[in-house]
Amino acid sequence: MRQQLDTAAFIALRETNFSSPPARSVSREDSRRVELRAFGRQNDEAELIPDRLDPVLDIVGAVHLNQLARGPKSIAIAEAMLQKEAQLFRCKFIRKTPNTHGYILHADYPYWEVFENERQIHIGAENYVTLLIAIDEAPLESGPLEVYPGTHRENFGRDPTEPRDIDSQALADRDPVAIPLDSGDVVAFHSQIAHQSEPNRSRQSRRVLISAYVPKEHMCGELYDEYYRWYLRYSSPPRSEQP
């Protein structure tokens, strides 16, 4: 898996071909499309480091990423978790370089609830499952995913500056469970589980592909296309620190 994904990433870069046509001929519209996909997190020097592409699957050369997100293995895990026929809802790629900060405490559903409300679609928190596929090894020092078991059944106070996030004080008396991974490992998680990650203190970048799935019965054309049509409008200008 790791080898295939390495190849895919580099195919995308080669096909971009920086010299022909000349780089300066990239249109404003093309730049905007890329800007809309690239989000950043701060590093120790408070510089904003691009850390993810969201969406990623429509980028030229992302063949293996598409196979991972839409292929039979992922769909089978999603269907086993949901106990229903599943479809892809969203998919993003994270590459956390050394010393780039992690994700603050949050659950995913409050973000998706905004989409549901605005598009007047009801899916519901229990009908999403997210698969995090480790492309690289993610040891403890790389700031892997950390979850607070059982929190998907609890309600917490909201962060005063970002009401979609959980108030960090709410879980101050509990310890998260960090999930170090080997390349190719998958973590499936509920859309309401509180999770976060620490800065990458290793010397290697770590990459993950994070895909969420919902039952097929929630069809609204292709739900994936519907979501990203909404998201790319909604997140413009880019909200750099959001998940």
Ligand X SMILES: O=C(O)CCC(=O)C(=O)O
Placement of tokens 């592909």 in the chain: 209
CB of 88 to ligand X, least distance (A): 16
CA distance 108 to 1: 26
**Binding status of residue 243 toward ligand X by CB under 6 A:** yes
Residues 96, 145 contacting (CB under 8 angstroms): no
Residue 103 interacting with ligand X (CB under 6 A): yes
Q: How many CB atoms sit inside 10 A of residue 39's CB?
A: 21
Contact 208, 138 (CB under 8 A): yes
Chain centroid to CA 118: 21
Residue 54 touches ligand X, criterion: CB under 6 A: no
CB of 118 to ligand X, least distance (A): 20
Neighbours of 34 (CB within 10 A): 12
Per CB under 6 A, the list member of 75, 91, 94, 166 interacting with ligand X is: 94
Segment lying near ligand X (by CB under 6 A), choices 18-26, 101-109, 116-124, 212-220: 101-109
Q: Are 69 and 152 in contact (CB under 8 A)?
A: no
Is residue 135 within 8 Å of 220, Cβ to Cβ?
no
Q: Which residues, numbered 122-181, are part of the site for ligand X (CB under 6 A)?
A: 143, 145
Which among 96-104, 147-155, 172-180, 184-192 is the span making contact with ligand X, rule CB under 6 A?
A: 96-104
C-beta of 215 vs 243, nearer to ligand X: 243
Distances, alpha carbon 115 to alpha carbons 122, 198, 203, 234, in Å = 10, 27, 37, 9
User: Of residues 175-214, which lie at the interface with ligand X (CB under 6 A)?
Assistant: 195, 197, 208, 210
For residues 86 and 133, which CB has a smaller minimum distance to ligand X in the complex? 133
Q: How many positions of this chain bind ligand X (CB under 6 A)? A: 12
**Shortest CB 187 distance to ligand X, Å:** 10
Residue 42 sits at φ, ψ, to 5 deg, of -80, 155
Q: How far is the CB of 28 from ligand X (least distance, A)?
A: 29
Q: What residue ranges bind ligand X (CB under 6 A)? A: 94, 96, 102-103, 108, 143, 145, 195, 197, 208, 210, 243
